[in-house]
Structure 1
Amino acid sequence: MNRWRQRFFADGLDGLRNGATGRRRRLCRDKLSTFLLALVETSPRDWNYQRSRWSSELMAKVIHDHARDFIHPSTIRRLLREFGIVYRRACPTLCIKAPDKEQKLADIAEALKHASTTHPVLFVDEADIDLNPRIGADWMRRGAQKRVPTPGQNRKHYVAGALCATTGKVTVRYGDSKCSGLFIDLLKALKRRYREAERITLVLDNYIIHKSRETCAWLARHPQFVCLFQPAYHPWVNRIERLWKAMHDTVTRNHQHRSLANLLVAVKRFLRTASPFPGGRHAMAKV
């Protein structure tokens, strides 16, 4: 009786008429996959909702409103996995055009094409080593969050590195400040390591120590070094960023070292086992 009352209050006399018998028609799988794939490429704002990200409940509602088919949110989540759609962190991107982007990318591609023993190409960058651990995901019991002790007052150290594009060999130097001196120490190490090279091409970002007066003066005295600056806001062009990510994932994330000296020992051990990179040895290396 309550069901009939609800139908009458919702739709009047039309609600009392019998609808179609049998199970409701469902969207065919191909049409549903096409609809979902198109849906995730948009934002809920495009459909006049206030949310900025999709939820399975909101997807189910949009499907019901536009395709007249009811699908439970749990079914939506299962289908998304089947269609290869995953829930993950978005990538921040600045809506700023990098000057000379195409030309810089073309120069880097040309250098990589002709890389050799006498003309090595190296990806160069610096990374911060913090005593305060970077917090990351880990396995733990449900409802029992792991505790990572922190020293409270942070201390920092820095590592400058160069990754050879052809061999994967890593050259590093360490310092207590990220200054031109640290970068020049790395250049001196590269000069010794690649003493047979006629030209050494460096792919690096636009950080100030790469263009300082001290650095430019040193480079002027060593014309075998050629600097190719990557486009602004394009860190993924520099392959050594993957090495720094692996270092943080393996060593500095959730670390429990009480002193910076012990942490640096672990970092140096990692960089020794990671060369040549990528090689995969660092992931299973023992202490």
Structure 2
Amino acid sequence: MPIITSIPRNERRQMKKAIQKTRDKNYARRLTALLMLHEGSTVSHVSRTLHCSRSSVNRWVNWLTLYGLEGLKSLPAGRPAIWNLAPLLSVISFLLQHSPQHLGYLRSRWSLELITLKINEILNISLSQSTLYRYFCRAGIVWRRAAPTLKLPDPEYDEKMAKISEALSNASGEHPVLYEDEVDINL
């Protein structure tokens, strides 16, 4: 008594073509096992030939019966995504409509680090830069590298430079001029 129901000719042809073209060799192995069973091989012979257990062959027959050829395809590798980042799209679009300078930062463009920091601050979550990077790639969001930041001009710059010039002109051995980062040096 055959373990597998009769497979129509066009479906067998489709299976043979899939075996040749697929890059997923486990899928090809499952299809080969089912074709061997259809040709009259026993489950034990198929399992010995393909180096798999009899229970695996029986499971593949069950998958074919329940789901058809689609049920034999391999699942994607890795674990599924935990974060559902679709709700973040509105927050990200809001942030991208404004420059970081509108929100009190010195930068003229958004960087991945700055967007992550701002999203974590707004939504009180702990989203990493790599997660946001993967989401941007998946969502098709394109960005450029952040430009170097220029400080805003200091309104008291001229006064400060005048004081520094005066201090340097009056410098002597008794009254040396030191920069702030040199103050802790023991002379």
Q: TM-score, normalised to structure 2's length? A: 0.31
- Name the structure where helix makes up a greater proportion of residues: 2
- Pick the structure with greater CA Rg: 2
Q: TM-score, normalised to structure 1's length? A: 0.21
- Name the structure where strand makes up a greater proportion of residues: 1
